[in-house]
Structure formats: C-alpha cells, structure tokens
Amino acid sequence: MRQPVPAKKVVISIFVLVFVMMSFLPANSFGQGVEEIRVLLLNGKPSYDHHVTLKSSTELNMTIEGAIPYQYKVKANENIAFEYDLYKLLIVETADLATVKSLKDKIEGIKDWKLFPSIEIIEKNNQTIYKLIVGQFATLEAANSFAKELGVKLQMTPAVIGPKHWVFGEYGDDVASLQAAVTALRNQGFDAYSVKVLGSKGWENQAWIGLSSSSQSHEQLKQAILAKYPTKILTEPTTQTYSMEQTAGTYINGTLVKHPQYNLADNTTAKIAGIQASSTITVFERLNNQFRGQINLHSINKSFSVVNQVSFEEYLYSVVGSEMYTGWPIEAFKAQAVSARTFAYSKVLTNSSPYYTIRDTTADQAYFGIEEETDKIRQAVEQTKGMVILYNGKPISTFYSSNAGGHTADGTEAWGNPIPYVTVRPNPSDDSAQVGLLQWYRLMRKNGQTGYVRTDYVQKTGAKNELGLEIGIISNANDPNFSTVNFRKIPKINTNNLIGSLPKGEEIVILDTVHENSSFTWISLPITPAFIQAANSSITGPVLDLKVLERGPSGRVTLLGNGTTPLTVSYPDKYRAFLGSTENEVKSTLFDIEQTGRIEVLGANGKTRSIVNQKESVYVQSSSGTMKLQESNNNQEEYVIYSGNNSIRVATKEQAYVIHGTGFGHGIGMSQWGTKGLADSGYTYDQILKYYYQNVEIKPIP
C-alpha cells in the first residue's frame, strides 16, 4: 500500500502553456554553464505577501546592498523578519494582544484572499503596543482601494500607513544617544525608529518619526512634533538606501515570539546566507520549509519578492522529491531529475528577469526545500548530473504530469499545437495510482438525498428494495465507538465536499460502488450552469446542455458545446479551468459528462424527448417509493431514475454536471505514475525518457 498523499502533492506537476508557445531555442544559445539557479518563493502580487521571517540553526550573515554594503550577523536560532517601506494597511494598533490575534485569524480565514498579516511590536507611551499590518502597495490609491474592500469584510476601516518620514536627528556612530532619543520620542506617543542610512561617508544612524501615507498626514505629524519640540528642525530623508529597525512578532506553537525586523527602502536588495556551506534557512511564510543556499529579498516593481539562490543540482534534490513519492524506484527518480533539469535549464536560457529564474510552484516546478530530499533522490540527481534532453541539438520543453489516465496526450489536445517529440502513448500502469485506496459506496437516504461513504462504514443487510438495490446500515466493526460518519458529495475526504453526517445504524440504499478519487480516476463535484457562467465572462447565458463535441487522438476533450453551440477556449486544456479545475476536482480533459438535470422521457410512437429544468408529470423512484414529479410534491432535490436497460442514475431537479474522468494534468509527455510503472518493469531512466519523448538525445550540458 502506498503512502498517503501529502497535501502539497495534490497538485503534482501541472505545467502551463509557456513553453509550448516558446519557439525552439536558437542553436547558439545552448552550451552555457549553469552553477546556480534563483527560485522565486514569495511574490506579493497574488496575495499581498509583504513580510518574511527567516531562521537558521547556524549563524547568518545579512547584507544590505549599496555602494557600501551594510552587514549584520543574525544569531543561530534567532528569527529575523523583513518588509519593504511602502504603503500598507494598519488594521489595528492596540495594547490588547488578544484583539490582534482574533483579527489576524479572521483575516487569514477570508476565503480566496490568502492574506498573511504581520505584527509589529513597539514600546510606546510606556506600554507594549501591537500593530496588525496587511499588504504592500505600490501607490496610495491602491492601498485606499483595498482598504475599502477589506473594511467591508472586517466591518471596520483600516488606516493606510506609508513611506513618508521625518528625520529627527543624526547620531553617527553614537548608538546609545540614538536609542535614548527614540525611547523618549516613543514615550511622547510618536512612531520613532532607529534607521541605518547610507550617506556619502558610509552607513550612519538617524532617528526617524512617522509612517505617513499622504502629504496632509505628513504635515500634520510635523506640526505635532514641533508642538513637543518647538526648536527642532525636521528634514525629509535624503537617502534612497536605508533600513528601519523594528521589532516583529511571530506566532510559534501558539506563542508570540519577539525578534528583529528590517523595514527596507524600496530599491534595496538584502541577501541572507549561512556562515557554513551546509547551512539551511527556514522560511516561515513558505510552510516553515528549510532551503539550501541563500535568500535574496527584492521589491520587484514594488512587489515584495523572496528568492532562493541555490546550487543548480541541489535545487533538483528538492524538485525530484517534491514531484515524486519517496518510495518510488531510483530509475523513476533519475528520469524525473533529467526532465526537471532540462526544464530548469530551458528557463535559464530564456529567463528575462534579473532577479529570479524559476518559480517554486507547479506553474514551473514544485520545490519545497530540503524536506523533500532523501539519500536515494540525491543519488539519482548525482548519477545523472548535467544530463538534459535534446531535440535537434536543443533542450526540449519537458512536459510532464502526474497521471496520463492510461494514454498520454497529443500536443494538439492540450494546447492546440503539435509537438514534434511527443505523441499518444499507452500508459497501462497509470491505474496503479489507485492501488491500496479504499472503495466508496454511493448511498441514498430515505429522504432521497444521495452521497458517498467509505465501504468500511457500511454493512450490507442482505435485503434489497423493490428495484433490486442492496440495503445496508451505517456500521463499522473496526470502529465500534463511532457515532456518525461523514456523508460526502464525492468519494474523497475533503472539507469542501461535506454534505453532513449519517448516524450509526441508519438504513440506506446502495446505488453504486466506486474507487476513491485519485490521480487516475475521479468524480468531480456537481458543477452548475450558474458556476460556469460566472467563471467565464465570455458566456452570456446559462449553459443548460453541456456536451462534448470533439475529442483528440487520446480521447481528450478538444471542444465543448452548449448543445451544438461551441464553447470555445484559447486552447483545449483550458477546459479544466473552464469547469473549475481543482476547485471542482476536474483534474484533466480526459472525461465524460453526466447531466444530472436532464431526464429522457419516452413518449408516443417510441419517441424520446429531454426535460431540463422543467417540472413536469414524470414518475421517479425514491427510496420511499414511486413519486410523481410535479408542482405539488416537487420538493426533493434528487431522484433516482430506473432506466429500461436496468441502469440506475441520480437526477437533480435543477441542471448540474458531474464529470467522470481519468488522469491528472495536461497528459503531454512523461506521466509520473507511468514512469514508476516502467521503472518497476525494468526500464532504465533513458529508456523511460525516450518512451515519452521520441527522436531525442540525452546528453550532458556542454
């Protein structure tokens, strides 16, 4: 029995269109040596990430770039945090930590936003004050706009803070006087900070006041300062390279831990590296994962970015482990290593960003740090060191996916373009992805409600109902102390598909037995016409008759229609996103569509007609007997229909679509589960790669 699927491996290796659309690399671009690669770990644009917290078991060197670099040593096992000095939202400023924690949890729980607030700690007015901060915004307008959106969800008005400060004094190397001045200013109620600034003579110390966002609030702060210090001459900062010293708080095992934080000038790069070659750095905001190499911080187009600069081969240690299960055969790891190396090398050759080469998600390649490494994986990478896949002397785009569903795809089926080195290949071992998984029953309750329960929580009674369907009761001999079992929309344990619970001893009707959802075979959540219309702006009306109009050579869907009217997308694999993709469990385009809201009625002279979203006098079978579907008793959402060919299906009052599919990903090139099967059968890594990529060579990077 294989190991359980880790949550982060649910989306194994689904590659995007970027390299299909990329023309082949020119011949003279090949042959560049590669020692390191830069991996983008965090980019603030999608989710307003604005903060990172780092730690290492060894001492770290932190360097702030400039004409004269500034260096700071971070103690072993000491947290250190970084932000950029741009516009942000101040959610609350209070001495009540419980209020801060409650709001932080509420913000992090906002569905679909993925916000990660930070906590600044400041001693002010002779007490400890906590500031809850969200986001990094390039402009005041953007910050104000998002403040309104977030304010609606929180039912409060966040304040906007920003990068406008007053220089209160210059202190050179006199750190003691600087700290005394900052403390005095804070006890007067001001937001005062020690700041390292790069001047004409090097790095110096200054005291700054304020985090103003507008010229008006900036001037108001000046007047407040002068009211306390009437003879003081305040100036604007003149440097564009600085680091504001703050204190942050990070929750670790439920306890808020205080540690240093640097609020960096927008155009500043910071580099953090261990003092030992074997040092690793933990990134708290990246699942607490540890990474080899160094961490680089940038504000790319005023977007907070965290980049891991690491040895090219050590990067592959993690990619192979992140993409494949650790118990798989070494030849499968070798095949994955060469594919991943080729993909990364292509990114190196075509990279246009001066800051990073590749992303750490399945938009490029999954990369989760040293957690995913094993001795066997490192061995596979080392034994294939430098090897890449070439077609006509140039590195190929090594497309691969988790599971091809029994057959790999032709390029036209995924992206509408032929790919000369891939074609449809059988993958009989793809079905091994469901080996060891429990089966599930589709059940019907007495109220007509249907759903899925694992077979080990149902005991058959031996009796059958009037349609010959088996009757069971909710029971589990291996778990006699349970009282209820979860009742689900699809055969998979996930919080998003929960219908409710069934009590121990409830009598139910067994409609069907299915495999648990896996990367090989799966059933989607019900998809409504309203969802399709809302998710696709090009659709002007409800899709009441979703059908497959065309398929490609491997059987994948290449054209969907609303009846006979085509529903076009830019390339066929985009139909996954069209139908909700991972949100609705649509894992590939190798699928069939079940229309649950369509009833075929046999009328006079043997003619049939379809009823969709209509309340007509149709007789249906529920678990409690035969019912007439009409206005007076049309209160059931689901009905079990017994067809003339002795088949049973569940129909719904309103139209919906359930997708039954196989495979996970675009299906082009190497299937990872297929690779495992070939390796188990004795194929070597190069034989595996040449099975999936035709007319190619496997050679070292010159």
Does residue 115 register a pLDDT over 60? Answer: yes
Could you tell me the pLDDT band of residue 633, with boundaries at 50, 70 and 90? very low
Does residue 350 register a pLDDT over 60? Answer: yes
> Side chain identity at 364, as an amino acid letter?
D
Q: Cβ atoms within 10 A of the Cβ of 32, count?
A: 10
Residue 507: partners with Cβ closer than 8 Å, 6 or more residues away: 446, 461, 471, 472, 473
For residue 524, what are its two tokens? 């989607």
- Do the Cβ atoms of 45 and 311 come closer than 8 Å? no
Q: How far is 178 from 172, CA to CA, in rounded Å? A: 9
Rg of the chain on CA atoms, in Å: 30
Q: Mean pLDDT throughout 583-607?
A: 80
Helical (H) or strand (E) element with 595: strand 591-595
Q: How far is 9 from 131, CA to CA, in rounded Å? A: 35
Express each pLDDT in 361-384 by its tens digit.
988 999 999 999 999 999 999 999
Express each pLDDT in 247-277 by its tens digit.
999 999 899 999 999 999 998 999 999 999 8
Maximal CA-CA distance, the chain: 102
* Distance, first Cα to last Cα, the chain: 42
Does residue 440 register a pLDDT over 70? Answer: yes
Helix-strand-coil percent breakdown of the chain, rounded to 5? 25, 35, 40
Q: How far is 10 from 285, CA to CA, in rounded Å? A: 20
Q: How far is 621 from 634, CA to CA, in rounded Å? A: 13
According to the model, what pLDDT value does residue 603 have?
54
Could you tell me the pLDDT band of residue 25, with boundaries at 50, 70 and 90? very low
Q: Mean pLDDT throughout 51-79?
A: 94
- Do the Cβ atoms of 106 and 99 come closer than 8 Å? no
For residue 9, what are its two tokens? 């491996």
Residue 371: partners with Cβ closer than 8 Å, 6 or more residues away: 289, 290, 318, 321
Per DSSP bridges, beta strands 202-212 and 270-274 are unpaired
Q: How far is 695 from 702, CA to CA, in rounded Å? A: 20
Residue 173: partners with Cβ closer than 8 Å, 6 or more residues away: 204, 205
- Do the Cβ atoms of 662 and 514 come closer than 8 Å? no
Q: Rounded to 10 degrees, what is the CA torsion of 356, 362, 368, 373?
A: -110
Q: How far is 270 from 60, CA to CA, in rounded Å? A: 12
Q: Give residue for tokens 């619970």.
A: 501
Half-sphere exposure of 299 (CA within 13 A, CB side): 22
Express each pLDDT in 144-177 by its tens digit.
999 999 999 999 999 999 999 999 999 999 999 9
Q: Mean pLDDT throughout 666-689?
A: 96
Q: Mean pLDDT throughout 221-239?
A: 96
> Side chain identity at 325, as an amino acid letter?
Y
Does residue 555 register a pLDDT over 90? Answer: yes
According to the model, what pLDDT value does residue 599 have?
65
Distance from CA of residue 175 to its chain's centroid? 44
- Do the Cβ atoms of 124 and 189 come closer than 8 Å? yes
pTM of the model: 0.83
| Ramachandran quadrant class, 555 (left: phi over 0; alpha: psi -120 to 50; beta: rest) | left
SS (H, E, C) 138-205: CCHHHHHHHHHHHHHHHCCCCEEECCEEEEEEEEECCHHHHHHHHHHHHHCCCCEEEEEEEECCEEEE
Could you tell me the pLDDT band of residue 14, with boundaries at 50, 70 and 90? very low
Question: What b/e sequence results for 428-464 when a residue is b if at least 16 CB atoms lie within 10 Å of its CB, and e otherwise?
Answer: ebbbbbbeebeebbbbbbeebbbbbbbbbbbeeeeee
Express each pLDDT in 499-522 by its tens digit.
999 999 999 999 999 999 999 999
- Do the Cβ atoms of 62 and 243 come closer than 8 Å? no
- Computed over every residue of the chain, the mean pLDDT equals 89
DSSP conformational letter for 438: P
Beta bridge mates, 124: 127
Q: How many residues does the chain have?
A: 702
Helical (H) or strand (E) element with 99: helix 97-108
Q: Give residue for tokens 């799966």.
A: 522
Q: How far is 659 from 532, CA to CA, in rounded Å? A: 13
Q: Mean pLDDT throughout 93-112?
A: 94
Task: Output phi, psi for 533, to 5 deg.
Answer: -65, -40
Does residue 634 register a pLDDT over 80? Answer: no
Lowest mean pLDDT among 19-33, 242-256, 465-479, 501-515: 19-33
For residue 321, what are its two tokens? 């482990």
Residue 481: partners with Cβ closer than 8 Å, 6 or more residues away: none
Does residue 454 register a pLDDT over 50? Answer: yes
Where are the chain's structural domains? 1-43+309-436+665-702, 61-251, 437-515, 521-662
Of residues 340 and 627, more confidence is placed in 340
Residue 222: partners with Cβ closer than 8 Å, 6 or more residues away: 166, 234
Could you tell me the pLDDT band of residue 46, with boundaries at 50, 70 and 90? low
